[in-house]
Amino acid sequence: MTLGVVFVLLATAGWTAVQSRPAAPSAQDAALLDWSSATVAGRALPAPNAPPGEIRGFFGSLTERQRAELAERHPLVVGNLDGAPLKLRYRANRIALRDMADTERARTNDTRLSAAGQHDAGRRMNRFRSMSKPGRQILAFDPTGRGRAAEVFGDLRRADRVVVVVPGVDTDLLTFQRTALRYTAPVGMAQAVYERSRTLAPGVRTAVIAWADYTTPRGVSMDAATGDLAREGAGRLNRLLAALPGRSTVALLCHSYGSVVCGLAGPDAPARVTDVAVAGSPGMRLRSAAALGGHRTLWAMRADGDWIADVPHLNFGGLGHGDDPVEPRFGARRLATGGATGHSDYFLPGTGSLRNLTAVGTGSYGSVETR
């Protein structure tokens, strides 16, 4: 098969529209610059990309007041430090979100912006205000470009089981949560799993993370057909997993392009990751389930009418994501999807797909329905 034919196939699936990536604004860069020159009690601060263990040790050596001061002075950095105390990250991100909401409010009246730009600023302002409400546990927040975020449901520190929901294309700060089509967005997906876990496995202390802390492809773009963004996302995902507190076991629930991220992360993931479940996968850039490494179980599902079935499961010259995880020869355990249709219903309450994803997530293997 020639490269030209591959492009034709990808175009048929709608994957070849090239999208430009937005330039990063200065807020995060300025925050990192301030952090690099700051000190606490005469000590230099650790590099933001230092290993989570080093970050954890640094904050463990500080007083409560010193930690709080760092969160107040450097919220955009502290809120994203894997290894920093959870409650401190939640507090820092609330501060950063409120600060950025004020910035976007000013932009809504900035006459240098077009009407569309002012409207976009208003949408971001409203999103940041919503995310900064008391009680929300924002684990990561980066307003750069389209933005990234992660949110925790439940008590991450005391959990027996941690579930990480990894979404696919077109996920950013404005689509992190939705009112309409609620369960197609990361927050709604994670909430659905968390709520279902309380009835399906009430004896299992479960925490769920809506993890949109990677740059996703835009729509049916060339980025969606290649692995570059997934590879960067896999590194970020494994860093999160390495920084999780406690001794919980972990399940990854990965939708669409998110399954590419999980496939690339799997071989290097910590041993505490016991299960990976993929829904509507275009491929995982793996040859088989065994390539995940360790003793992990791979689960796969695809609903009736999901258009992803029409995407060529190939990898040629870096285009496409390889073999289809729902094919028997791949070695995954195939999950039933009763009631789910199309590409976006997998986390819809009342569906067999949500029940099965939650069963895998909580380790309730006796409740799993396969097909």
pLDDT digits 0-9 by tens, 48-95: 999 999 999 999 999 999 999 999 999 999 999 999 999 999 999 999
Question: Span 146-371: which CATH code?
Answer: 3.40.50.1820
Check pLDDT > 50 for residue 7: no
Determine whether 338 is exposed, middle or buried from the number of CB atoms within 10 Å of its CB (0-12, 13-18, 19+).
Answer: middle
Check pLDDT > 70 for residue 17: no
At residue 14, the pLDDT reads 34
- Higher-pLDDT residue of 161 and 12 is 161
Q: What is the DSSP string of 317-371?
A: TTBS--S-TTSGGG-PEEBP-TT-BSSS-TT-TT-HHHHHHHHHHHT-GGG--B-
At residue 26, the pLDDT reads 65
Pairing, β 273-279 against β 249-255:
parallel
Grade residue 13 by pLDDT with cuts at 50, 70 and 90: very low
pLDDT digits 0-9 by tens, 349-360: 999 999 999 999
- Give the domain ranges of the chain: 24-136, 146-371
pLDDT digits 0-9 by tens, 262-277: 999 999 999 999 999 9
* Residues 319, 226 contacting (CB under 8 angstroms): yes
% of the chain residues with pLDDT over 90: 85
pLDDT digits 0-9 by tens, 119-166: 999 999 999 999 999 999 999 999 999 999 999 999 999 999 999 999
What contacts 31, CB < 8 A, 6 or more positions away? 74, 75, 76, 77
Distance of CA 278 to the CA centre of its chain: 14
Angstrom distance (rounded) from CA 360 to CA 370: 11
